[in-house]
A and B are shown apart, each in its own frame.
Chain A
């Protein structure tokens, strides 16, 4: 059976600058794939390439169909939700409106309402701030709103860009606990970009290590976590 997301020979960049030099990676349905690496390795660019935010070369297949070159909104409508760097929350709108936008392309109204309730259960603080402008939430709350917004698309694949960025350790723990729940309860595949390699490898089952736009190590997350030489030379812990 092919993977949920298959990427082969992915090249991408910004204008004349090439950032990715031919990446191959997979995300399985119900699995978590982690992309690790230092700043500038091409992690964020990889996510942008998958959701069609930049020009790409190479193959990107989702559920067996090619999505390379499609418009971002068309890719979202296929069931790929993306929490971008900087979270992508609609700051000027209320928490409620952000929820409604998350489910914008869905037509199954009753299910949407049930998913609202599920998100309220997962993120009780968002319910308390229901009518508040999203820009007034704390950093952790905004990250939760960003994840809730993405989940409300009812995605088959979730792209998460540094969900721990700039957050206090306790909040990071909370967010990773929620990601475990997502994996168990929603059955969606997750492509996770993370600086916090330790946490990411605990959650992931597959991992790829990027260095300046190339994959230098790939394998099962559990094995990479055990491998001391990789940890020392690339992950720094």
Chain B
């Protein structure tokens, strides 16, 4: 029984990581209707930046927030420099750009920081067992950070003027311009935010999976499965989907297919959702009377 409870809790902890990356995917999807395949590589690069800062002696939390800031700028710059010129190009062009971006960032990361696996520190340590040893301090801390991030994002989009402007630009760019919103600026901000969220996910998962240039490859797949499961156009659904995939993956790995086939679970989820319910569990059907 303890084993099961532990698997579920560990699943929630990793699910939080998937939820963050899924949220980053959905944010860019909502703004541009494209899936950013390079989201994982961008997060890995961010995590390496944090690792570099920490090994240079910067205190963890300072490095944490500095990395978020740097990642935001990198994300916004990628939009400005690489995606702006092709914004009206057909979808295949975007797929090409995203794959190129994935390869370039992935290889650049390896070239700069090396391909050897590195240990990444966690700020969450406890000398006593928590909840009767059911959960590690890092799992608890990761879940808390994820929930805080998700809440901040929700509040930002729901209750701030800038958040409203970004939603308006995503839903209806033409009308957004007519009310005076700089849509290009909103897109760059959206990319920056997504990169920042991805960076947090990377820094939270690195202590568990260890840091190397391909760290996020599997995680992106789980996150994508979570985003699809919850509904690719629904941020809240994607977050729930991320948590659900985390728990499912952990339980299936422990009791059904074994750890070696865990990644297959993500693929099965993706295929099943696309076959049975392409809009996802919470995919919103927009009502429209004319």
Question: Which A residues fall within an 8 A CB radius of B?
Answer: 51, 53, 71-73, 76-77, 81-82, 84, 88-93, 97, 100-102, 104-105, 133, 135-139, 142, 149, 153, 166
- A-B CB contact pairs (8 Å), 18 listed: A53-B174, A71-B182, A73-B180, A73-B183, A76-B178, A88-B172, A88-B175, A89-B175, A90-B168, A92-B171, A93-B164, A97-B168, A102-B179, A104-B161, A104-B180, A135-B286, A139-B290, A153-B180
Q: Is the CB of B167 within 8 A of A93?
A: yes
Partner of A76, one of B161, B180, B287: B180
CB distance from A149 to the nearest CB of B (A): 7
Mark contacts of B117-128 with chain A using CB atoms, 8 A cut-off: 1 yes-contact digit, 0 otherwise: 000000000000
Q: Which residues of A contact B164 (CB under 8 A)?
A: 93, 97, 100-101, 104
Question: In the complex, what distance in Å separates the CA atom of A51 from the CA atom of B180?
Answer: 11
Cα-based distance from A208 to B181 in the complex (angstroms): 31
Residues of B close to A137: CB separation below 8 A: 289
Does B253 count as interface, using CB distance less than 8 angstroms?
no
Most buried by A among B165, B175, B176, B290: B175
Q: Select one of A101, A136, A138 contacting B179, CB under 8 A.
A: A101
Q: Which residues from chain B contact A51 at a C-beta distance below 8 Å?
A: 178
Q: How far is the CA of A142 from the CA of B290 in the complex (A)?
A: 9
CA distance A89 to B287 in the complex (A): 13
Which residues on A sit within 8 Å (CB–CB) of B88?
Answer: none
Complex CA–CA separation, A192 to B174 (angstroms): 20
A196 to B124 alpha-carbon distance, docked (Å): 70
Quick one: which of A73, A89, A133 contacts B177, CB cutoff 8 A? A73
For window 85-128 of chain B, which residues contact chain A by CB distance below 8 Å? Answer: none
Q: For residue A71, which residues in chain B have a CB less than 8 angstroms away from its CB?
A: 177, 182
Residue of chain B at shortest CB distance from A77: B180
CA–CA, A123 and B172, complex, Å = 24
Closest residue of B by beta carbon distance from A91: B288
Q: Mark B153-178, 1 if CB is under 8 A from A, else 0.
A: 00000000100110110011011111
Q: Do A76 and B288 have beta carbons less than 8 Å apart?
A: no
Is the pair A133, B182 in contact by a Cβ cutoff of 8 Å?
no
Check A91–B181 contact: CB distance below 8 A: no
Inter-chain CA distance A105–B182, complex, in Å, is: 10
> Which residues of A are found within 8 Å of B178, using beta-carbon distances?
51, 72, 76, 81-82, 84, 88
Question: In the bound complex, how far is the Cα of B290 from the Cα of A136, in angstroms?
Answer: 9
A65 to chain B minimum Cβ distance, whole angstroms, is: 17
Give Cα A137–Cα B168 distance, bound, in whole angstroms.
Answer: 18
Chain B residues lying within 8 Å of A88, measured Cβ to Cβ, are: 172, 174-175, 178
Q: Which residues does chain A contribute within 8 Å of B286, judged by CB atoms?
A: 91-92, 135
For B167, list chain A residues within 8 Å (CB): 93, 97
Flag B172-206 by CB within 8 Å of A: 1 or 0 each. Answer: 10111111111100000000000000000000000
- In the complex, A76 Cα to B181 Cα: how many Å? 9
Smallest CB–CB gap between A100 and chain B, Å?
6
CB <8 Å contact, A76 and B175: no
Instruction: State the Cβ distance, A179 to closest chain B Cβ, in Å.
Output: 18
A200 to B286, CA, bound (A): 34
| Interchain CA distance A135-B286 in the complex, whole Å | 8
Q: Are B289 and A90 in contact (CB under 8 A)?
A: no
Give the docked Cα–Cα distance between A105 and B168 (Å): 13
A97-B164, A104-B161, A139-B289 are known contacts. Are A90 and B180 too (CB-CB below 8 A)? Answer: no
